[in-house]
């Protein structure tokens, strides 16, 4: 077999057919298998001689793909789902076939230009200044890590010294990726500030900590992380109050909008984000609530020069791409080689226009409000936290861990829905995370009924 010529056209057409089918249909929710079950049905797929195109495609279509949940199913309401537009999903195929290197302007100027216009739309929604810019990275985890690394470098450069320990201010509901970045990757301490009754980090609570902390503790802080749409509860922190404290203390102000940043496009909730325009760095995952396929996180910096100083890799073989004045996406995060992962999002945005995005986000918010009304009206379930966005966290009155687990498994086994248990303040409960414009209130009603 030859790697480059054999049956290229036949293979491409067969794969395109599979893609077209997938784009055209409402995919089933599908199911999870154990490694033993998969070995039993799929067998050993990697062999000396190769199993051939027909067999590999058969395995994918009939064995492997059905063993992967469809994240864009309208009743996939766990974690934070995704719901790529058809345009974005289709363009993703093209990105894979195009061999565009989107790490440098020299190699990928056209792709980088388009990605930057998509980033600019987000920067404008947030109210960031004209110089703001950044890069699409793999996900919120790398986005948060890259921003915090830039924040620490910028602070150290500005101060001209470093404390014995660095620290960052956050709260319990801050996403696990931020704690992981700080503690496991960067070896930075976490200053955990208690959240308010909805788990929000507030400027007032940080001020209380400031009033009782030592000089050493205060000097160790280089940044505060606010969340615009917490993952478990979907609430927006007190961005303006936190921005005030950050400004007074000379801290970097990072806003994690991996899930909730998309709400910036929705006039009905835009007020909640007051203060985001003061962020030094900001992330939003288009693969969550902005209808792009995995994996895609928009990372923006107020002053990209500071990010470049922290992230540019230097080596003789990179000199040709390190050209003054050229926008190299690699320079703004922890990465070098990168696929043009912002292009599927850009294509869909260019095709449909930004108003379609506003409409789609508003639709999910409206369904979440209707779902909340259903919960309020029912006796067997109880809302636990007043929602800001499109996450509803609630309990089934009287249920314990095992009840939720059995119910959740039954829903998935029946191919009806994927709704997992979670915990709030130590107690088991469940939640709906609604980011799919195809999710309707009837879907939510059916699931609530299944809990009776
Ligand atoms: C999902 C999420 C992340 C992590 O993003 P990934 O794309 O999964 O890496 C970070 N922060 C928040 C608030 C999130 O919801």
Residue 337 and residue 286 in one domain: yes
Gap between the terminal Cα atoms of the chain = 58
Candidate from 79, 143, 173, 177 with most ligand 1 atoms within 8 A of CB, to mutate: 177
Q: What percent of the chain has pLDDT over 90?
A: 96
Q: Mind listing the pLDDT tens digit for each residue in 401-452?
A: 999 999 999 999 999 999 999 999 999 999 999 999 999 999 999 999 999 9
User: Is residue 136 within 6 Å of ligand 1 at its C-beta?
Assistant: no
CATH of residue 21? 3.90.1150.10
Q: Which atom of ligand 1 is nearest to the CA of 287?
A: 7
Question: Looking at 320, 352, 384, which one is the last position of a domain?
Answer: 352
| Residues 368, 389 within the same domain | yes
Among residues 295, 318, 352, the one where a domain terminates is 352
Closest CA to 286 of 344, 230, 331: 344
Residues 310 and 391 in one domain: no
End residue of a domain, out of 352, 375, 390: 352
| Same domain, yes or no: 182 and 320 | yes
Establish if 385 belongs to a structural domain. yes
* Residue 243 in this model has a pLDDT that exceeds 90: yes
Segment (H or E) for 256:
strand 252-256
**Spatial strand order in the sheet of 133-137:** 133-137, 297-301, 281-284, 252-256, 221-227, 167-171, 189-193
* Overall domain count for the chain: 3
Q: What separation in angstroms does the CA of 403 have from each of 319, 347, 399, 408, 409?
A: 60, 44, 6, 8, 10
Q: How far apart are the C-alpha atoms of 215 and 447, rounded to whole Å?
A: 52
Asked if residue 332 belongs to a domain, the reply is yes
Please, which pLDDT band fits residue 325 given cuts at 50, 70 and 90? Answer: confident
Beta-carbon contacts of residue 425 (< 8 Å; ≥ 6 apart): none
Within 8 A by CB and 6+ apart from 377, the residues are none
- What average pLDDT score do residues 358-381 get? 98
Together in a domain, 372 and 384: yes
Residue 1 lies in a domain: no
Same domain for 41 and 167, yes or no, is no
Pair 190, 282 in one domain: yes
> Residue 189: which CATH number?
3.40.640.10
CA dihedral 283, 289, 293, 295 (to 10 degrees): 30
Q: Is 143 in the pocket of ligand 1 (CB under 6 A)?
A: no
Same domain for 121 and 216? yes
Ligand 1: centre distance to CA 179 (Å): 12
| pLDDT in the model for residue 179 | 98
**pLDDT tens-digit series, residues 184-202:** 999 999 999 999 999 999 9
Show the domain range for 13.
6-32+70-83+354-449
Summarised one tens digit per residue, pLDDT across range 114-172 is: 999 999 999 999 999 999 999 999 999 999 999 999 999 999 999 999 999 999 999 99
Confidence of residue 26 (pLDDT cuts 50, 70, 90): confident
Residues 397 and 313 placed together within one structural domain of the fold: no
| Residue with CA at minimum distance from ligand 1 atom 10 | 140
Task: Looking at 315-381, list the stretches that DSSP marks H as alpha helix, in order from N- to C-terminal side.
Answer: 343-352, 354-377
Does the structure show a pLDDT above 90 at 373?
yes
- Domain check: are 19 and 144 in the same one? no
Is the pLDDT at 395 greater than 90? The verdict is: yes
What is residue 122's predicted lDDT score, i.e. its pLDDT?
98
| pTM (predicted TM-score) | 0.98
Tokens of 373: 């009304």
pLDDT (0 to 100) of residue 321: 87
**Which pLDDT value is given to residue 1?**
57
The alpha helices in 250-383, defined as continuous H runs, are: 286-289, 304-311, 343-352, 354-377
* Probe target for ligand 1 pocket from 141, 148, 239, 296, with the most ligand atoms within 8 Å of CB: 141
pLDDT for res 25: 87
- Tell me if 21 is assigned to some domain: yes
Q: Are 317 and 420 contained in the same domain?
A: no
Span 259-291, pLDDT tens digits: 999 999 999 999 999 999 999 999 999 999 999
The mean pLDDT value for 363-387 works out to 98
Determine whether the shortest distance from the Cβ of 237 to ligand 1 is under 6 A: no
pLDDT confidence tier of residue 2, bands split at 50, 70 and 90: confident
Going from the Cα of 435 to the center of ligand 1, the distance in angstroms, rounded, reads 14
CB 399 less than 6 A from any atom of ligand 1? no
Is 111 in the same domain as 144? yes
């Amino acid at each position: 077999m030859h790697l480059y010529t054999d049956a290229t056209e036949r293979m491409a057409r067969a794969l395109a057919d599979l893609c077209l089918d997938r784009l055209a249909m409402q995919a089933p929710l599908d199911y999870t298998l154990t490694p033993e079950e998969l070995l039993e049905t799929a067998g050993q797929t990697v062999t000396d001689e190769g199993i051939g195109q027909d067999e590999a495609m058969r395995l994918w279509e009939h064995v492997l793909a059905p063993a992967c949940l469809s994240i864009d199913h309208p009743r996939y309401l766990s974690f934070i789902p995704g719901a790529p537009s058809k345009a974005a999903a289709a363009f993703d195929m093209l990105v894979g076939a195009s061999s565009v290197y989107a790490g440098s302007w020299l190699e990928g100027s056209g792709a980088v230009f388009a990605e930057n216009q998509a980033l600019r739309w987000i920067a404008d929604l947030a109210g960031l200044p004209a110089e703001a810019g950044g890069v699409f990275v793999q996900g919120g985890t790398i986005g948060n890590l890259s921003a915090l690394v830039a924040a620490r470098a910028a602070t150290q450069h500005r101060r001209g010294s470093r404390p014995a320990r660095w620290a960052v201010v956050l709260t319990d509901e801050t996403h696990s990726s931020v704690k992981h970045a700080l503690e496991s990757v960067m070896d930075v301490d976490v200053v955990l500030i208690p959240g308010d009754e909805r788990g929000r980090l507030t400027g007032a609570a940080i001020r209380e900590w400031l009033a009782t902390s030592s000089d050493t503790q205060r000097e160790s802080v280089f940044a505060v992380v606010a969340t615009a749409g917490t993952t478990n509860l979907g609430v927006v922190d007190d961005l303006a109050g936190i921005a005030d404290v950050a400004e007074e203390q000379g801290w970097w102000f990072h806003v994690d909008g991996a899930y909730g940043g998309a709400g910036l496009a929705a006039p009905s909730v835009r007020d909640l984000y007051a203060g985001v325009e003061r962020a030094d760095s900001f992330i939003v995952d288009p693969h969550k609530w902005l209808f792009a396929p995995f994996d895609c996180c928009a990372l923006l910096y107020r002053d990209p020069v500071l990010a470049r100083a922290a992230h540019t890799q230097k080596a003789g073989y990179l000199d040709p791409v390190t050209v003054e004045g050229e926008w190299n996406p690699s320079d703004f995060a922890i990465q070098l080689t990168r696929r043009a992962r912002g292009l599927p999002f850009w294509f869909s945005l260019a095709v449909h226009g930004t108003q379609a995005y506003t409409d789609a986000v508003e639709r999910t918010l409206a369904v979440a409000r209707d779902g909340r009304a259903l919960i309020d009206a029912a006796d067997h379930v109880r809302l636990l936290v007043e929602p800001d966005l499109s996450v509803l966290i609630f309990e089934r009155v009287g249920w314990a861990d095992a009840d939720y687990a059995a119910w959740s498994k039954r829903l998935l086994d029946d191919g009806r829905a994927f709704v997992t248990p979670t915990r709030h303040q130590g107690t088991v409960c469940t939640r709906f995370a609604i980011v799919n414009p195809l999710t309707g209130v009837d879907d939510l009603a059916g699931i609530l009924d299944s809990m009776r």
